Amino acid sequence: MNTINHDNYTSIYDGIEVVDALQTRIADIKKTLTIVTELDKWNYAYTEGKWTIKEMIQHCIDCERIFSYRAQHIAREDKQMLNFFDENAYVLTSNANERKPEELIKEWTNLMKATYFQFESFNDETLNKIGIVGDREYSVEKIGYIMAGHSIHHMNIINEKYL
């Protein structure tokens, strides 16, 4: 059973429409990544066994794709089962440290913009649709808040522990 509590992600944007949360985070993320670039900390991990910043950004990209698919899956009422994934296994096979920082920034920025447009296309009825991932229920809207909050959570970690 997955024990992740997404409340710390969703509470970041309390009182803000999900599409606004998905849009406003982009500027905040770019600010942090600009500092990472200026300090040339892309390959830095604050302790042994922790991800580098490149790996963390690749993790955010992977999560954005997976969560976006989950939202689409539920929005379109697909009945196939959705499962959790092992984020550490994804990072191990990502080759993130071989990538150029500007490629990671460009990919993630464009992906976040695409997610914003995806959610902008959902009406209230669609945002309220419920689906199951693993052993938990999620609305389309909640997945959007999780995506927005997850990315800000990782920017906070970068600011607090890496910079």
Count, in order, helices (H) and strands (E) of the chain: 7, 2
Q: What percent of the chain has pLDDT over 70?
A: 97
Number of domains into which the chain is organized: 1
pTM, two decimal places: 0.93
What's phi and psi for 84, nearest 5 deg? -75, 175
Task: Give the model's pLDDT for residue 160.
Answer: 96
Give per-residue pLDDT as tens, 55-70. 999 999 999 999 999 9
Residue 19, domain member (yes or no): yes
Residue 34, domain member (yes or no): yes
Residue 2, domain member (yes or no): no
Give whole-number Cα distances, 146 to 6, 10, 111, 139, in Å: 6, 5, 15, 11
Residue 87, domain member (yes or no): yes
Q: How many CB atoms lie within 10 A of CB 127?
A: 20
Confidence of residue 13 (pLDDT cuts 50, 70, 90): confident
> The CATH number of the domain where 121 resides is what?
1.20.120.450
Give per-residue pLDDT as tens, 94-148. 999 999 999 999 999 999 999 999 999 999 999 999 999 999 999 999 999 999 9
Pair 80, 70: CB distance under 8 Å = no
- Domain containing 17 equals 7-162
Residue 117, domain member (yes or no): yes
